[in-house]
Structures are given as structure tokens and as C-alpha cells.
Structure 1
Amino acid sequence: MFRKIIFLALFILPSMLFAQNKFVGVDACGMCHKSEKQGKQLDIWKSSQHSKAYETLKSEKADAIAKEKGFDKPAVEVEDCLTCHAVGYNVSADLKEKKFNVEDGVQCESCHGAGSEYKSMKVMKSKEESIKKGLLVYDDAATLCVTCHNDKSPTFKGFDFEKYWALIKHDVPE
């Protein structure tokens, strides 16, 4: 129950506040966030397990776990699995731009919110303006991470936030 409340507070309510925003996809974000000057966020994501999160749901192991949990369909179709392995799977097509691909898994907009209104260079030059347009940023990333990385996950083996954050930290250099 607590996990659902946290998930609602961190993912659903902010997305309702910016309901006009569409998911643009990792390629749109990566157009600017791939250079050394910007912090190479795209490369960091590509080399992370987050970029493979959706793919793991296509495995026999994932299907076996889904079956064990009482689901009668493949893991890639189970909302309980998709909640942590993808973003945008549960929104209408009119809230997804053409290049958005749910199979990109846990990508930029999973944490930072649908990007159509803040993706432009003009907006992104101002952190304050980006936030007004829907960019989600966190003072405490661990709170967000543990909504999925916790003992409710059937594959949970512990979560050392500092260790894993070091692998995916992706600040924009100042």
C-alpha cells in the first residue's frame, strides 16, 4: 500500500499536473544530452540496466516470475511489471509523440516527466522555466529509486543507492 502511495505521489500526480505534456522519447532528449559539454547523459543511460529494463520482461525468466505471481499473460503485458520497467505504456496515443517508444524501458521521462513542453533548447536553458513546463527534478533521488528498487520486486536482492547512483548519475555540468 505504501509503495502505491509513493508511486502515486511521485509519478501519477506530477503527470496529472502536466497532463498536456506528451512523451517525446529518449532520442529527443538525447539530441542535446549526448555531448561531453552537456554531460553525456545519453551514453550513461545506454550503458545502464535502465535502458534494458523493458527487454528483461521479454525473457523466459520474467514470464516464469509473472506466472508464479498468478498472472496468465507474458510479463511484458503485466501492469505490475510494466510499472517499473517502462514509461508511457498506460497513456493514450495522443500523449505520445511519434518517436516515443515504450520499449526504451526506464528512460529520461520515467523520472523527469513527459518532455514535450520542456524539451526545447530555449526552455532547457533555464532550470526554473523547465520545471515550470514539467521537468521533474529531485533533491532526494533515492526516494524515487526505491519506488521500484525495493523488496516488493520479485527479483530484489538489496539496493545500495550510493553504489548504483554512481553508475547512472547524470548531472548537467555547470
Structure 2
Amino acid sequence: MAKASTIASCLADLGLAGFTPGKNDFVAGLPELERFRTESKGSLLMANVAGQGVLPAWRGPQMREINGVKLGLIGVTSPDRAEGGAPAGLDVASPIDAVKADVATLRAQGARVLVVLAAVGRGEAKRIADAVPDLTAIVVGSPGGSGDANSETPPPERIGNVLIAETGNHLTTAAALDLYVRDGSYAFADGTGLDLARKRADVMRRIDEMRGKIAQWEGDPKVSKADIEARRADLAVLEKERAELDKAPTPAKGSFFRYRVQEMRDSLGKDNAVSARLLAYYKQVNEANKKAFADKKPKAAAKGEASYAGVETCTTCHDDARKVWDKTAHAHAYATLSNQFKEYNLDCVSCHVTGYDMPSGSTVTHVENLKDVQCEVCHGPGSKHAAAPSKVKVPIPRPKPESCLSCHHPPHVHEFDAVRKMEDILGPGHGR
């Protein structure tokens, strides 16, 4: 509940107009959903849902006036299509019928732009666009989901004159739709170049594939350096093509729209109010997890199996490697969490300690001698090697670049070249 409340308050800081819930948003009950709505200061819109506890105000629609233009906002959802069906007590009607009814209401009130928030999936959103062609745009969301995997951001498309917009989950991307009204016309031409957007998505896919191949080839002695450099040249061409596709000419006459998807990056900057709320939330999670997992200790290693020894033990014989490691970001990985009150955050800690959740390793609260990304993260548990270095080899003498990808992946790290990055952690006595 703390996370939901924090998100709602952050959305209020950002000026949320409205949202449409999926099944996951009902999990704490309708009174809590109303509390989150109040905290968000936005409208909760689900025109096609009724039932005990559903407030009339939730059904909408809403009218907003922006720069003199009346914009109608409609929300529909299909939690009954999510895994396990709709929450008990909810009556879910046809999204199409609800949108038609709300469009008529909004038109009578003078709405010139009509936007639907549709937590119904992309297929149903397209059917709404077919059935109600005078909509301006449909913002697509999922009826409900589970799991931590990040979804790709589908390219936008138009069904007739209706723009279908959808972003990736977990706020990996955000979309901006700008409408430019000329001469009082509300028929918006495509000023984005949606065909270009689809090409851009294809180019992005090819760039990702090329990066992966280069990383794989660089670790393969059978692939010549000339071939690798040729692929790097191909990658540069693709990246240039992507940059060119970001440009689209503005229509010379008439109203038009521009649609843009922005990948979320720390480099974009921050909002101070939102940052303060997130910091308070992380402090709250930290304190709660510190108590909740205080007694969770790592399992002992099986008899005859190596255990984690810690960097100080490794330093006894590998002092040169230690000097290299001390200068890397790996040596300060745990501090990057503790400085943000995230060292007990279950979503973060595993990549900032050694042997997390492994036999003889660390847990969220028990990280003695195993803070930071130490030698054994890459080389494997080394107790047996440390006890008899002349007889027992290091478990993984030369880690492959691919091993870095277990932590260095989106949304935490973007466009990561494992082979090149590995150079940053090598030095005299450590790989050279």
C-alpha cells in the first residue's frame, strides 16, 4: 500500500488528469482505490463498470479545457479478461457501448477532442476505434498482469483517424501526444510519421540484435577482429539511421499531431517534490524489510561444496587484483544503495552484494564480509581454492562477458556492451 500511495502522490505532483484501473488496482478493495484516487487528485474513469461500492463519479466522463480546447476524457476497463477474472462484486459491461454513450454526452457538452483511457488490451482498443471512428486517440493499458518482466513498447498506429498509443510497462517508457490546432479544424494529420515510427522500432530491434552479436563475437576467438569491426561499422550506420528517423516534417497546412515515446533515463533530470516522496518511501521500505528479514540467514553450503570467502581472503594472494578492484564501481556498489536507503530493498540488493541468496552467501540483512560486487560474483565461491590454491583452481578463472548481463540489463542499465565494459574492471594482475 505504501508504494501505491507514493505513486498516487507523485502523480498528483505531476498534475494527473485521470486514470483507468486494471484488475491489479482493485486488489486492496474499493475504499483503498478511492483513497489512492484522492491522493492522485485525478479522475478515476471506468464507464463500463458497476457494482456494489463503485462510486457514480468513477464512471465519468470528464471534460477538461486546455488552451481553449474542450477535451473529453473517457475510461473503460476489462478486469474480467485478466487472469482469474474480475474482482468479486464488479459488473463489467461492453467497453464499446460505454464509449459510444460517453462520446454522445461529451459531444453534447461541446467536446472537440476525445481521448479514451482503455485498460482493455490492444485488440479490444482497435475494436473500439473501429466502432467509434470520431475518437482522437486511445491510450492502451493492460486489463491486469503479473510478473516482473519488462514489455516492449509497441509502435503507434492509426485505425482510421484514431491514434492507438501504448507504452511499455513499469514506466520504462512514457509517451507524449501533442495536438496542434489550426484554423479551427479538429481533423489531425499525422505530423509524426507513424510509418517512420514503425521503421524506428524495427531499427531499434536490429540495433539491439547487433549489440548482442558483437558482444558474443568479441568473446569468440574464432571471429576475426576485422569482422567485428565491420559489424561495429554496421551498428554505427543503424544508429545514424535511428537518429534520422526521429525527424519528421511538419504538415504545411491544417491541424496535426505529434507523438513521441521517451525512454526513461536518470539523465532526463528529476522533479524535487517527486524525489522527496520517493526517498521517504525507500526509507519506509528499508526500515520495514530490516525488521521483517532480520532472521533470514543464508543456508550453509552442502558438505564438500565451496563457500563464499570474501574479498579480504582473496586479497591474501591476489593483492594486485585487489588494487584494480578498489578503483572500480564494483568496490562501492553497496554504498550506492545505502546512500539512497535501498540496501534492504528486495528489488535492488541482489546485484550489489556477493552470493545473494546462495548457500553460504548473503541475504537482504546478512551481508557481513560480502558487501559490494566482490571477486566471487564473477569467479564463483572460492573457499576451497583459498584453502589449497596449488591444488584447487578458481571455479571460474576467466568469466565471460555474458555473465555481466545478469545485473547489467534494462531498466537499470541501457545499451550495455559487456565486452567493452569488462575492460573497465581489468588491470595489471587482474586480466592483464
Larger Rg belongs to: 2
TM range (shorter): 0.5 to 0.7
What is the rounded CA distance, in whole Å, between the counterparts of 1:31 and 1:90 in structure 2? 26
Verify the 8 A CA contact 2:402 2:418 in the aligned structure 1.
no
Structure 1 letter corresponding to 2:385: Y
Aligned to 1:54: 334
In structure 1, the residue matched to 2:369 is: 101
Change (3 A) 1:144 1:158: same
Aligned to 1:32: 317
What is the number of equivalent residue pairs in this alignment? 127
Q: Match of 2:407, as an amino acid? A: C
Structure 1 position 22, deviation (Å): 2.0
Distance in 2, matches of 1:51 and 1:102, equals: 11
Residues of 2 paired with 1:145 and 1:86: CA distance?
Answer: 14
C-alpha deviations, 1:31-69, integer Å up to 9, x for none?
1101xxxxx110111100000111100123xxxxxxxxx
Q: How far off its partner does 1:19 sit?
A: 7.2
Indicate the residue corresponding to 2:58 in structure 1: none
> What letter matches 2:347 in structure 1?
D
Whether 1:159 and 2:416 are equivalent positions in the alignment is yes
Kindly indicate whether structure 1 or structure 2 has the higher relative contact order, using CA contacts under 8 Å at least 6 residues apart: 1
Structure 1 partner of 2:408:
149
Superposed CA deviations along residues 102-149 of structure 1, whole A, max 9, x for unmatched, are: 22x1001111122111113xx4335xx415xxx12346x211011111
Match of 1:70 in 2: none
Kindly report the root-mean-square deviation, in angstroms, between the aligned alpha carbons of the 2 structures: 3.1
Which residues of structure 2 form unaligned runs of 5+?
1-146, 150-300, 362-367
Q: Which stretches in structure 1 are left out of the alignment for 5+ residues?
A: 4-15, 35-39, 61-73
* TM-score (ref. length: structure 2): 0.26
Supply the distance in 1 between the matched residues of 2:305 and 2:420 (Cα, whole angstroms). 36
- Give the 5 Å matches for 1:127-138: 129-130=392-393, 135-138=395-398
Distance 1:86 1:41 in 2: 18
What is the TM-score normalised by the length of structure 1? 0.60
Partner of 1:110: 377
> Which protein has the bigger helix share?
1
Residue equivalent to 1:6: none
* 2:397 counterpart letter in structure 1: V
- Identify, as 1 or 2, the structure richer in strand: 2
